[in-house]
Amino acid sequence: MYRVPMVASIMFMCAFLIVGNAQGSELDRFIGLKGTIDIAGGTAHIPVMNDAAKNIMKFNPDIRITVAGGGSGVGVQKVGEGLVNIGNTGRALSDAEKNKYGLVSFPFAVDGVAVAVNPKNSVSELSSQQIKKIFSGEIVNWKDVGGADAAIHAFGRDEASGTREVFWEKLLGKGDVAQSINIVSSNGSMKVAIAQDSQAIGYLGIGHISDNIKAVVVDNMVPTQENAKSGDYKVVRNLYMNTRGQPSALEQAFIDYILGPDGAEIIEKSGYIPLSR
């Protein structure tokens, strides 16, 4: 009379072991490895890198991973000069960068770049021409684009930013940018600036959009990751990890983890689209 429960118990234990092994399999690549991976560069990458680093270091305490920002230009410079193991960029490397440093790129996610304003702003849609005129300094009052009679406070990123490069190329058409633009250092700083200023306008990765800022519809394109994935929203970029030369065994294990199923879940949780899916 106890055979059925015993069989059921054995089947349950087998299923538990199979699930457990499946869950641990992605981290198994770090068994027996030790050392340090220092990462710096694009700020959009930080949530993905941090979560991956926590999982790996918890699984294997002999591995230490540090993550810093600084922008895409910093990522290129630091990995190129051997100051970090992985330099992150929110844009493809130029031929000059590849040749100068011998860099190898690993794309891992797609991110859309959205124009955003403060939620108190009545403006919800803009054309790319209006955006060009705002950031060139030609339009300086919200009333000229259907908003209140108030000065426009435009925020941007410095030239080392991959987010800026995508915005400049795809929405400004590589046009002029006014010297009066307020420069912030990261997607996070941009988010804070827009959230605190009712007259602000800026741009940042779609993954950073939340209730305290409002994404603007541009040329009838709604900035969501779903639309970026489908191609309906066209202001997009790839996120890259870059190494100087071919990666070491530990660096390759980290890159493979990001490109694997666990990494895809982390990427999606961070608001981006994994290239592995």
* 277 residues of the chain, pLDDT tens digit each: 444 444 344 343 333 333 343 345 899 999 999 999 999 999 889 999 999 999 999 999 999 999 999 989 999 999 999 999 999 999 999 999 999 999 999 999 998 999 999 999 999 999 999 999 999 999 999 999 999 999 999 999 998 888 999 999 999 999 999 999 999 988 889 999 999 999 999 999 898 899 999 999 999 999 998 899 888 999 998 999 999 999 999 999 999 999 999 999 999 998 899 987 6
Question: Distance of alpha carbon 127 from its chain centroid, rounded?
Answer: 25
Residue 9: what pLDDT?
Answer: 40
Residue 20: what pLDDT?
Answer: 40
Residue 277: what pLDDT?
Answer: 62
Rounded-to-integer distance, Cα 228 and Cα 220, Å: 13
Residue 33: what pLDDT?
Answer: 98
Rounded-to-integer distance, Cα 94 and Cα 97, Å: 5
Q: Do domains 3-109+239-274 and 112-236 have the same CATH topology?
A: yes
Q: Give Cα separations from 261 to 27, 43, 52, 53, 162 (angstroms).
A: 11, 23, 12, 15, 26
Q: Please check whether residue 254 is in contact with residue 65, taking contact to mean a CB–CB distance below 8 angstroms.
A: yes
Task: Provide the CATH number for the domain formed by 3-109+239-274 in this structure.
Answer: 3.40.190.10
Rounded-to-integer distance, Cα 64 and Cα 33, Å: 11
The identity of residue 275, as a single letter, is: L
Kindly give the pairing relationship between strand 103-117 and strand 200-205.
antiparallel
* pTM across the whole model: 0.75
Residue 187: what pLDDT?
Answer: 87
Q: What is the pLDDT of residues 140-178, one digit of tens each?
A: 999 999 999 999 999 999 988 889 999 999 999 999 999
Third-level CATH fold of 112-236: D-Maltodextrin-Binding Protein; domain 2 (3.40.190)
Residue 7: what pLDDT?
Answer: 39
Q: What is the pLDDT of residues 100-135, one digit of tens each?
A: 999 999 999 998 999 999 999 999 999 999 999 999
Q: Please check whether residue 184 is in contact with residue 193, taking contact to mean a CB–CB distance below 8 angstroms.
A: yes
Please count the CA atoms within 13 angstroms of the CA of 171 that sit on its side-chain side.
36
Residue 115: what pLDDT?
Answer: 98
Residue 12: what pLDDT?
Answer: 39
> Domain boundaries in the chain?
3-109+239-274, 112-236
